[in-house]
Amino acid sequence: DGGITQSPKYLFRKEGQNVTLSCEQNLNHDAMYWYRQDPGQGLRLIYYSQIVNDFQKGDIAEGYSVSREKKESFPLTVTSAQKNPTAFYLCASSIGQASLTYEQYFGPGTRLTVT
Amino acid sequence: AQTVTQSQPEMSVQEAETVTLSCTYDTSESDYYLFWYKQPPSRQMILVIRQEAYKQQNATENRFSVNFQKAAKSFSLKISDSQLGDAAMYFCAYRTLGADGLTFGKGTHLIIQP
């Protein structure tokens, strides 16, 4: 079955440590996205990538970094510079960004807790 | 900047009844898409329905339909014959061509009373 996988489902880290969240898709989609969800909030865009080896900052990129070395993979690193990293992180993908009709498909998410 | 507003943090409806969730948005664009996503307790985001701004006809998907009022910038979701499985957070989202990603509202928590 085609889809998006995120691992792990729950992640715990100590303050000051960098942590990398995994996102893999086998939908052959060009575009991939990372969103953050906080309680009582909608999703907010962290980073997005339209093609391999290219990515752009979203609305709340500070304290985060990404890479896109393969079409299928778009890992997100939460660095120690992120002041409030505890949140639910969702990865998404779409066929491409050029058309409005391309819906975004979401992974199951990773709950990150930093203490 | 585009904004999406969902004015109902929580709604409750009896099973088999109809409920309408509200969404308004602010944009100066003429070409865009609107979406309703469902997030059940599993937290998996599921696309419920989408509407193209240039289409006057309201989108429908089985028990789900929208009332799209472009001039009023309103995009409400109607759920008919509510079922227990409809209980979830519902997010309204907006996207314009060339945008980085989706702009989401803060969501409405829908409770289905048996």
Q: Quick one: chain B helix, strand, coil %, rounded to 5?
A: 5, 55, 45
**Nearby residues of A20 by Cβ (< 8 Å), 6 or more positions away:** A75, A76, A77, A78
- Nearest-CA distance A70 → chain B (Å): 20
Percentage of chain B surpassing pLDDT 70?
97
Residue A21 above 90 pLDDT? yes
pLDDT score for B56? 85
Question: B87 vs B95, which has greater pLDDT?
Answer: B87
Nearest by CB to A100, from B43, B97, B100: name it.
B97
At residue B85, the pLDDT reads 96
> For B83-108, what is the mean pLDDT?
91
**B101–A58: do the CB atoms touch at under 8 Å?**
yes
Residue B101 or B63, more confident: B63
Average pLDDT (A20-41) is 94
Q: Which residue of B has its CA nearest to A93?
A: B101
First-to-last alpha carbon distance for chain A, in angstroms, is 36
Query: Rounded to an integer, what distance in angstroms lies between the CA atom of residue A62 and that of residue A77?
Result: 11
Give how far A14 is from chain B: nearest CA, Å.
24
pLDDT digits (tens, 9 = 90+) for A37-70: 998 888 999 999 989 999 999 999 999 999 999 9
pLDDT at residue A2 above 80? no
pLDDT at position A100: 55
Chain A contact residues (CB < 8 Å to B): 33, 35, 40-45, 48, 56, 58-59, 88, 90, 92, 97, 99-101, 103-106, 108-109
- The reported pLDDT for the residue numbered B44 is 92
Residue B99: Cβ-neighbour burial (10 angstroms; 0-12, 13-18, 19+): middle
CA distance A63 to A47: 11
Contacts of A106 in chain B (CB under 8 A): 44-46
Of B9, B50, B97, the CB nearest to A103: B50
Distance of residue A8 Cα from the nearest chain B Cα, in angstroms: 14
B101/A56 Cβ within 8 A? no
Across all residues in chain A, what is the average pLDDT? 92
Q: Which has more pLDDT, A40 or A31?
A: A31
Percent of chain A predicted with pLDDT > 70: 94
Q: What is the per-residue pLDDT across A84-102, written as a single tens digit (0 to 9) for each? A: 999 999 999 988 766 656 6
In angstroms, the CA B72 to CA A61 distance is: 32
